[in-house]
Chains A and B, each alone.
Chain A
Amino acid sequence: MPQFVFLWTDRLIFLLLGAIIAFTIYALRHEHLRAPWRQVRQRPLAMSALVVLLAYVAVGLLDSVHLRSRLASDNPQAVQYAPEIISVLDLIGEPLIRRTEVSFSAPFATHAFVKEVVEKPDGRMTMEYPRLRYGGRHLHNPNRRVADIVAKSFKGVIVGGLIWMLLVVVVAALLRRRDEMFGQTLAKLVRGDGAILWWPVTLTAGAVIVLISVVVNLSTYYHVLGTDQVGQDVLWRSVKSIRTGLLVGTLTTLVMLPFALLLGVAAGYFRGWVDDVIQYTYTTLSSIPSVLLIAAAILSLHVYITTHEEAFPTVVERADLRLLFLCLILGLTNWTGLCRLLRGETLKLRELDYIQAATALGVRNAQIMARHILPNVMHLVLITVVLDFSLLVLAEAVLSYVGVGVDPSTDSWGNMINSARLEMAREPIVWWSLTSAFAFMFGLVLAANLFADAVRDALDPRLRK
């Protein structure tokens, strides 16, 4: 058995996952909470987006289970573990990590991107593009590359298609009602006249599965998205960055939520000096341009880390702490908007009859806020959370560019863009690192935006029809 390691961000991400599952179960049992989601369920675009989001989340979760693999040793008593911390995703992608080239190579290339001095069998030295160590190694004749790629993609499509069909049949079997024929359930699934609009789900899931299958099949033979300066597979770096993107998007909200909820509701409910103090706090915080506040805080952290090196034994732990701190400081600059919103809504709610009645009956303040006000502002919280997610993912890239983002050793799209920026000046240009970082980020942000739109339309009472 390997030894499992729980980094701080891992713990928080699983806490968040638990909270989401708990909320889902709770919402399923309460009709008034279920109603708006039924509207989301009927929007094809939103359901497609959800499938894509779930694919990203699955990768992120796999990358959040960290462990130290056990070292092979003769002595069964003295169990030793490898010093470096890896994730389950690293175990799956081990071939991709191992197959590093010397330097740049274009997507699907068989030869390196830069000329090198190569020694010929007869002892002469020439400058030429050497064959890659791994990419396209199986080809005896590199000219047959295109035919090979097409054949391998075709195989990937077939395998992916089969997995997808199997999945659809399994889901249909699970969904079948007792009085239905199996064929009827399947037809319902494809046509989509059930409670959930299934056809966008099945179609998108099919597309995602086939895509993954093709890419996995090809990436065992080629570097599908090329390699970067140190010869690392760009596809792998982009996949590893998913966790960072998701973490910044979700943990930031998680850390800011308690502040925003507590202070926003308290300010609106108590009014008077409490309101003044809280308003002063958030006006002060929001009047500092957020990039500068983040820069100031990250610089301070940087000083702390360099002067207290002994507190962080591994690079992974240090990078993890920096990521967590980035989320914290992003949360600190971000909570003011939600807090202001909650204060305004609470001010309105506290004048309503049922709150007045509760006060008259002698219900304690804390209980009124928790039982009567909080559930009625939750839609605002949910809307803000989903709308902020995509903004935060985009912000991470910009901050990493400025140099105040995640640790340089962490895989993130921002770091990829930052290091690939200089490669644009090369002639011919190295475009694949940038492109793939942008494409992965675009996929996540677009899915999040489309889903957020549907959630807002469903939850916002002003937009509800």
Chain B
Amino acid sequence: MIAYIVRRILYAIPILIGVNLLTFTLFFFVNSPDDIARLQLGVKRVTPEAIEKWKVAHGYDKPLLYNNDEIGSARLTDTIFFKHSVRLFLFDFGRADDGRDISYDISKRVWPSLAIALPTLLMGVLVNITFAMLLAFFRGMYLDTWGVVLCVIMMSISTLFYIIGGQYVTGKLLRLVPISGYDTSWQAIKFVILPVIIGVVSGVGAGTRLYRTFFLEEINKDYVRTGRAKGLSELRVLFRHVLKNAMIPILTQVGALIPLLFIGSLIMESFFGIPGLGSYTIDAIRHQDFSIVRAMVFLGAVLYIAGYLLTDISYTLVDPRVRLN
């Protein structure tokens, strides 16, 4: 087990290097630092001196990969690639274009993000399993058929509609909760409720339909028939046997959601004015702050790999047959 985890972590290194090279290519080869500087300073009427000054101030004045003017190892370290990309591996994200420390901002903003993302994920899975079980129990009946149609209708509605509609109905018409904002400590709960509910509702269509197919796949297997032949009640069959065995595909799907949550909350956070990582990224994209986008790409990739590793480990918990090696 430990050996397996170590091996997986080692395997993550070349992937992260690849991610880094890719973003480096996107930001520095497709566009030279001069282009970025010109964009930041306003396109028209920029003097070459102003560009040089901006580049020096943000550390973009070095050669890209290989510095001929230095000696020894500094030839490789005193370059843009080393200063801006390699340092990401040490989770040293440097400074944003406005001079703020990115690592500090991230450590502050990760908590509001989690406060939204974690309840959304957990409640979403719970709600989806409940509805999917219901449909599976009534399979082949009208409730099931129309339930599936309802799921398709629900998944055809844009997430933006759920957000805007939900904000309008609960926030503006009924005045139940504040429309947007955030607060420290436990006061934050009233700001968290609405995004979590909307997050769960917007995912219910697709999730229920998917889980229903997982359950139906298990329901036709021999061990279920055996259980029924023994005289177990249908509910017991569903909860004791089908649910347990359907956990593997469900976990796979949830594992794939871990990094997605981080992105999904991108839109949620920006709509609800929550100072998390998602709104941080969106602001960076809007202000074209490349250092922050680069840091978030790297962090996102790390989270993705971690999510998959966690999924694989959780297989051993739900299925004793799975041995990681």
Interface residues of A (CB under 8 A from B): 280-281, 283-293, 295-297, 299-300, 302-304, 306-307, 390, 394, 397-398, 401-404, 417, 421, 424, 429, 434, 438, 441-442, 445-446, 449-450, 453
Q: Are B285 and A306 in contact (CB under 8 A)?
A: no
> How far apart are the CA atoms of A283 and B259 in the complex, in Å?
14
Q: Are B297 and A293 in contact (CB under 8 A)?
A: yes
Out of B23, B159, B164, B260, which one reaches A434, CB within 8 Å? B164
Q: Chain A residues with Cβ under 8 A from B30's Cβ? A: 300, 303-304
In the complex, the number of residue pairs spanning A and B with C-beta atoms less than 8 Å apart equals 130
Q: Mark B146-182, 1 if CB is under 8 A from A, else 0.
A: 0000001101111111001001100000000000000
> How far apart are the CA atoms of A394 and B203 in the complex, in Å?
13
- What is the minimal beta-carbon distance from B304 to any residue of chain A, in angstroms? 4
Q: Top 7 nearest A-B pairs by Cβ distance?
A: A284-B18, A289-B300, A446-B156, A445-B156, A287-B304, A303-B31, A287-B301
Q: Are A292 and B263 in contact (CB under 8 A)?
A: yes
Q: Are B22 and A288 in contact (CB under 8 A)?
A: yes
21 of the cross-chain contacts (CB-CB < 8 Å) are A287-B259, A288-B297, A292-B293, A296-B294, A297-B26, A299-B293, A300-B27, A302-B39, A302-B288, A303-B288, A306-B43, A307-B31, A307-B38, A307-B39, A398-B159, A401-B267, A402-B285, A438-B160, A442-B161, A445-B158, A450-B152
> How far apart are the CA atoms of A380 and B124 in the complex, in Å?
29
> How far apart are the CA atoms of A445 and B205 in the complex, in Å?
14
Asked whether any CB of chain A lies closer than 8 Å to the CB of B282, the reply is yes
Q: Is chain B's binding surface mostly helix, strand, loop or mixed? A: helix
Known contacts A304-B31, A304-B35, A289 near B263 by CB under 8 Å: yes
> How far apart are the CA atoms of A304 and B38 in the complex, in Å?
11
Q: Are B156 and A390 in contact (CB under 8 A)?
A: yes
Asked whether any CB of chain A lies closer than 8 Å to the CB of B15, the reply is yes
Known contacts A280-B18, A291-B266, A299 near B290 by CB under 8 Å: yes
- What is the minimal beta-carbon distance from B198 to any residue of chain A, in angstroms? 14
Q: Chain A residues with Cβ under 8 A from B294's Cβ? A: 296
Q: Chain A residues with Cβ under 8 A from B214's Cβ? A: none
> How far apart are the CA atoms of A312 and B325 in the complex, in Å?
55
> How far apart are the CA atoms of A397 and B18 in the complex, in Å?
30
Near A by CB (< 8 A), chain B positions 4-63 give 14-15, 18-19, 22-23, 26-27, 30-31, 35-36, 38-39, 43
- What is the minimal beta-carbon distance from B201 to any residue of chain A, in angstroms? 15
Q: Chain A residues with Cβ under 8 A from B282's Cβ? A: 402-403
- What is the minimal beta-carbon distance from B96 to any residue of chain A, in angstroms? 15
Closest residue on chain A to residue B301 by CB atoms: A287
Q: Chain A residues with Cβ under 8 A from B160's Cβ? A: 397-398, 401, 417, 438
Q: Are B35 and A303 in contact (CB under 8 A)?
A: yes
Q: Chain A residues with Cβ under 8 A from B156's Cβ? A: 390, 442, 445-446, 449
Out of A288, A445, A446, which one reaches B301, CB within 8 Å? A288
- Given contacts A288-B23, A303-B288, A403-B282, 20 further A-B pairs with CB under 8 A are A280-B18, A288-B19, A288-B301, A288-B304, A296-B293, A296-B297, A302-B288, A303-B30, A303-B35, A306-B39, A397-B158, A398-B159, A401-B160, A402-B270, A402-B285, A403-B285, A429-B168, A442-B156, A446-B153, A449-B156
Closest residue on chain B to residue A293 by CB atoms: B297
Q: Are B36 and A303 in contact (CB under 8 A)?
A: yes
Known contacts A390-B156, A417-B160, A292 near B43 by CB under 8 Å: no
